[in-house]
Amino acid sequence: MIKRLSLALLAAIVLLAGALAVNTLRQGSRQVAVSPLPPLAVDKGRVAESLSIALRAKTQSGLLDPAGQAAAFDALHAHMKARYPLVHAALEREVVSGHSLLYTWRGSDAQAAPVALMAHQDVVPVAPGTESLWKHSPFAGVVQDGFVWGRGALDNKGNLITQLEALEMLLQSGFKPQRTVYFVFGHDEEVGGQQGAVKIVELLKQRNVRLAWSMDEGLALTEGVLAGVTQPVALIGLAEKGIVSLKLTAETAPGHSSTPPGPGASAIGMLSAALTRLDQNPFPGGVQGAAAEMFAAIAPELPFAQRLALSNLWLLRPLVERALQKGAATNAMMRTTTALTIVNAGNKENVLPGRAEAVVNFRILPGETTQSVQARVKAVVADERIRIEPVGAGSEPSRLSSAQSAPFKLIERTVREVFPDSIVAPGLMLAASDARHFDGVSEQSFRFMPIRFNTEDLKRVHGTDERIAVDQLVDMVRFYHRLLQSAAGPSTEGKTP
């Protein structure tokens, strides 16, 4: 009897292993086959210098000093005009809200839906006290050791400058667009984009412009970010998360610390219990939406064990999700995240404060809303004595663009042509960008920059020693050159016009 049972068990295990292996092996690579482009000749020194000059303009957004700020944007605009004469001769240029720029490259075919490339002109300030940690002064635009150093090199003037370089080169070669291309260069992305991208979208709507697609900063070619993947992974963002901050307030009568109320009755006690409940009850989530699409595209490129796990979610989902939950980034791709960011209460050691408050910051997964987050927080806190209200400017998660759409495939093909060693996958952007404002005017909006990022580079964004390799800039020019050629040219199928 026991023998028969164990034989049956063995047979079941063999069958299961067989099914898992078949599922795994059936998932062939999803990477599109394209012939790599012969590298376009790009003047390295010129591109480095173009960015270096752009970095010297201290275009910080959200400053209290409008005059200083205006002068910085004027300097950047003057540089762009001087550096790109063909762009300024061939394109219509409009200034929106003082410093944002909208360029129109008019195509010959009025029937072809226009597209937009985006980049932002503004940069974040250098954190006070960290200036001296920089190897080169953040606004000096130093070119050294094969890098252009300075605030904005990665975020986002590298993007801005290489788009313009590519465009200038195309004009130089006599290229004429069939499809209209807009270039949208906002000046306040880092503080929400309300005066820049939002106003430009309003303008386009007034003119009844409907974009086929738009592409903004966001995800990039990541290197060494995903365990087990040796090739660079070009993640093209299909969506970005929303944001809401909720303030939790607990109020009681203040009192003397010699006669405290019972457990959970003081303002701090009530608030701490509420915060603990939020911390211990993360939002439900899992491999779904953009994250599911990402893993489906990457799985076939992984070593066998990981490939087996991701190809058999029907059986191994709980295991896979538990593993992904351990990484902060992969966890954030799977759920709305809860971050306890501010706590305030009390100012004297022998006084029970009458009020305790905290702010909790949530990054919202597409599919949920600021409203649904607030409703769940109320349910988890489950304490009528705690007041819950939104603070600051939140934003809803963006729409999910399609990885099956023609524009996605165009970007995907261009990546494979210019970066033949890379694999391409859809992705979810965890931070916010101006791209979300384009949901209303664009059929598809993508978030991708043709920059190779490793984990060390990521720390430099908004951090110390921001820099970009000159070789990267050259590749970015090649990418935008090819993308514009394919998107605006006589054939939208990616063939050379």
Distances (CA, A) of 269 to 159, 252, 254, 338: 49, 11, 13, 20
Catalytic residues: 122, 189
> Which residues sit opposite 237 in a β-bridge?
427, 447
* Distance between CA atoms of residues 459 and 453, nearest Å: 10
In three-state secondary structure terms, 266 is coil
Which residue has tokens 């010959």?
108
Residues contacting 14, CB < 8 A, separation 6+ = none
Contact in structure between 196 and 216 (CB atoms under 8 Å)? no
Contact in structure between 248 and 387 (CB atoms under 8 Å)? yes
* Distance between CA atoms of residues 300 and 306, nearest Å: 9
Distances (CA, A) of 1 to 4, 6, 8, 14: 5, 9, 11, 20
Bond preceding residue 350 cis, omega within 30 of 0 = no
For the chain, give me the number of helices (H) and strands (E)?
15, 17
By beta-carbon proximity to Zn ion, the closer residue of 357 and 434 is 434
By beta-carbon proximity to Zn ion, the closer residue of 197 and 324 is 197
CB of 120 to Zn ion, least distance (A): 6
Neighbours of 178 (CB within 10 A): 16
CB of 155 to Zn ion, least distance (A): 4
CA-wise closest residue to 168 among 43, 57, 72: 43
Cα dihedral across residues 448, 449, 454, 456: positive or negative? negative
By beta-carbon proximity to Zn ion, the closer residue of 155 and 293 is 155
CB of 354 to Zn ion, least distance (A): 42
Contact in structure between 400 and 239 (CB atoms under 8 Å)? yes
By beta-carbon proximity to Zn ion, the closer residue of 196 and 289 is 196
By beta-carbon proximity to Zn ion, the closer residue of 84 and 185 is 185
* Distance between CA atoms of residues 185 and 216, nearest Å: 10
CB of 374 to Zn ion, least distance (A): 28
By beta-carbon proximity to Zn ion, the closer residue of 72 and 297 is 72
The site for Zn ion (CB under 5 A) is made up of: 155-156, 217
CB of 78 to Zn ion, least distance (A): 22
Contact in structure between 43 and 127 (CB atoms under 8 Å)? no
CB of 126 to Zn ion, least distance (A): 15
By beta-carbon proximity to Zn ion, the closer residue of 188 and 217 is 217
